[in-house]
Each structure stands twice: as structure tokens, then as C-alpha cells.
């Protein structure tokens, strides 16, 4: 198991709290990613500005995708690996604004994410989730 997946699994059960990034107390999907980054990689590369629940949607800006491109390594969608960061577009025509960390590949593929109403959970990467994945990234080399 990768250090990324191991760290992400320790966040399971953390309640969903918009803009938060504190294991056990609360986080959103980006907060989970940020927390795992701090645990495995080190200090966050930038301070994340405040954002609303509908961030980037009114402007149609792919801010989360742009941030991923700046700090992570883009991968092919067809080359899944445990520890990959998955970027989701929740509705056709909307901006991509949900992230998760792939925890398993193959026929029992799964990912860990913070989801409103559920907190941090490990979900099957079922067809409804998989068809929403629009990009795949890798963390910088684990230290």
C-alpha cells in the first residue's frame, strides 16, 4: 500500500466540514487532499484562499484543475494506481470540483473522499463515479 493511501485511510470517519482540513475534526474533499499532502509530502505549497460551495461554477473557471496542474503530475486516465488523485466533474457542463484519492485498482477499484453528508469515506469506484472522473494526477514523489 502506498503512503498516500495509508495516510488517506487514517482520515476515514472525519466529518465533512466545508473548507476545513483537520483530521478527526472536519474536512471537505480538498481539505482531505491537503491533509494527506501535509502528512506525506510536507508543508502545503500555497495557502488556499477561501472558497464557496459553488466555487468557480458561476465563472466557469476550472480552478481546481488548474491548481492540480500546478502542484501534481498529470497522468493518463487509463493508467490507474493506488494513491492517484482523481478529479471529478459532478455534472455534465459544470466545472470539475470534487477530488478523491484512489485506494484500490482493478475489479474492486475504490477511492477515498470527503463527501457532504457522509464525511471521509472509502467508496467503490463504481460506474456512476468512474464516468465522472475527468483527470488523474500523481502526488510529487513521496518522501
Residue 49, pLDDT > 80, answer no
- CA gap 5, 20 in Å, rounded: 20
Per-residue pLDDT band for 56 (boundaries 50, 70, 90) equals low
Structurally, the chain folds into a number of domains equal to 1
For 29-132, strand residue ranges (E) read 73-75, 85-88, 98-104, 110-115, 119-124
What residues does 102 pair with on adjacent strands? Answer: 111
CATH assignment of the domain containing 22: 3.90.1720.10
Range of the domain at 59: 3-138
The whole-number average pLDDT for the span 113-140 is 96
Domain-located, residue 111: yes
Domain-located, residue 143: no
Residue 62, pLDDT > 60, answer yes
Residue 17, pLDDT > 90, answer yes
Q: What is the mean pLDDT of the chain?
A: 91
Domain-located, residue 43: yes
Amino acid at each position: 500500500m502506498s503512503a498516500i493511501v495509508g495516510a488517506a485511510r487514517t482520515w476515514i470517519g472525519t466529518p465533512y466540514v466545508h473548507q476545513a482540513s483537520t483530521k478527526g475534526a472536519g474536512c471537505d474533499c480538498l481539505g482531505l487532499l491537503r491533509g494527506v499532502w501535509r502528512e506525506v509530502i510536507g508543508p502545503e505549497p500555497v495557502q488556499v484562499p477561501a472558497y464557496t460551495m459553488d466555487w468557480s461554477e458561476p465563472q466557469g473557471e476550472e480552478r481546481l484543475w488548474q491548481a492540480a496542474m500546478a502542484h501534481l503530475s498529470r497522468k493518463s486516465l487509463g493508467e490507474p494506481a493506488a494513491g492517484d488523485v482523481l478529479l471529478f466533474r459532478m455534472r455534465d457542463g459544470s466545472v470539475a470540483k470534487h477530488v478523491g484519492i484512489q485506494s484500490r485498482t482493478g475489479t474492486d477499484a475504490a477511492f477515498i473522499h470527503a463527501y457532504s453528508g457522509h464525511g471521509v469515506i472509502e467508496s467503490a469506484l463504481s460506474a456512476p463515479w468512474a464516468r465522472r472522473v475527468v483527470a488523474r494526477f500523481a502526488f510529487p514523489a513521496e518522501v
